[in-house]
Structure 1
């Protein structure tokens, strides 16, 4: 971890608790207590309102806020390209959120970097090809975010139809298709589904719990996830 990142994390840790010992900071950041003492001293010298002493603990006085974010040029390029991809490939709500995020970043970075950000020549053209989806992708994102089961009619690669109730776990875009990884109640196992093959989609408003063996982590850690490519558009579908 870079020292600048460590100093930032120290401030964040001090924000979360009324008092934090140097020992706890050292364990959290995987450095020696001596390093923490030196970092605390340097933060105080630079004007960060930290009170306390070694052996007792440290407190960050209320009202302190970090200065505006500073980005390197390559970090700006990563942010702009990522946001432009979301603006192009995401649904309307996500696209607007990406635009708002870029506007907020532009508002806090220095003037010289603001111009560089506006002129970054990394584009995500809007004339890309994506298989049409019959429902609002934002509703699927809501289901994934809030752990809500979804129902839909599905046609597999051979055109065979079935009705599914699934626990949505993640969404991935494999141009030109969006793919849902889910726990399928019909198959009692993990499955992936192309969103463009879904019809009569509905969010059930029925919450599901993160059960062992049925989570995204469980899906991703299976060897066949990587050897058979179940996250690909045709991977492990019925």
Structure 2
């Protein structure tokens, strides 16, 4: 790991771990010696980071040089914590971790009193049911949406019949108990909804549908609004 990458991770640990954090804890997380960690802290201080504390007592990041200060109202903080907590509960592991990292970064930009509001927010999220584990790699599926690349999926319909088809993935919808992929199906030449857990597998194709995603998604959402609902499982239009 290069020194620049290590310094970035040290800053990230300051944002994520409860303060004060000891050099031993950070050194263990990074897989380096405590001596190296002390040198990294001194490098960050020279660069302008305000890091309080000392060896044996632990360190606290008081001013983050990497992130600009944010001004959020108490209600905005509640909304932020509630929304990102929901993502941590509903998202796949990569998305849940991204929510935790985002909250840590935002917290680091706030004044101390606002940080306390985040740590002791009024709104909490709890789900009695654990979301089903997706049958496909959600990181790859998101990447296909971001890149506007066609994918070939193997899909199991409501009758259990398997079929292969090429689709243009447009958006992933988080319903109460499942994930729904909104797409333009090239087999049917129409908009379709696919339950992610019914996708047995998919392959990213070289075919690109850029720059059509925004227009297609806008048109699809407009079509769904005329039906008043994104159809839940067991009541969706035939695929």
**TM range, smaller chain:** 0.5 to 0.7
Moved over 3 A (4+): 210-214, 230-234
1:227 aligns with 2:196: no
Could you tell me how far 1:180 is from its partner in structure 2? 0.4
Alpha-carbon contact 2:148-2:213 (below 8 Å) kept: no
Could you tell me how far 1:112 is from its partner in structure 2? 1.0
Alpha-carbon contact 1:151-1:204 (below 8 Å) kept: yes
Could you tell me how far 1:228 is from its partner in structure 2? 5.4
Alpha-carbon contact 1:70-1:109 (below 8 Å) kept: yes
- Of 78-87 and 114-123, more deviation after overlay is shown by 114-123
Unaligned runs of 5+ in 1: 1-65
Query: What SS does the corresponding residue of 1:106 show, helix, strand or coil?
Result: helix
- Paired residues, number: 172
Unaligned runs of 5+ in 2: 1-66
The Cα offsets for residues 118-170 of structure 1, whole Å up to 9 and x where unpaired, read as 01132333652323322111111111111011111112222232212100001
Give the TM-score of the pair, scaled to structure 2: 0.65
Compared with structure 1, are the counterparts of its residues 220 and 148 closer, same or farther at alpha carbon in structure 2 (3 Å cutoff)?
Answer: same
Query: What SS does the corresponding residue of 1:70 show, helix, strand or coil?
Result: coil
Give the TM-score of the pair, scaled to structure 1: 0.65
Query: What SS does the corresponding residue of 2:105 show, helix, strand or coil?
Result: helix
| In structure 2, C-alpha distance between the alignment counterparts of 1:229 and 1:235, rounded to whole Å | 10
- Of 121-130 and 138-147, more deviation after overlay is shown by 121-130
| In structure 1, C-alpha distance between the alignment counterparts of 2:213 and 2:80, rounded to whole Å | 35
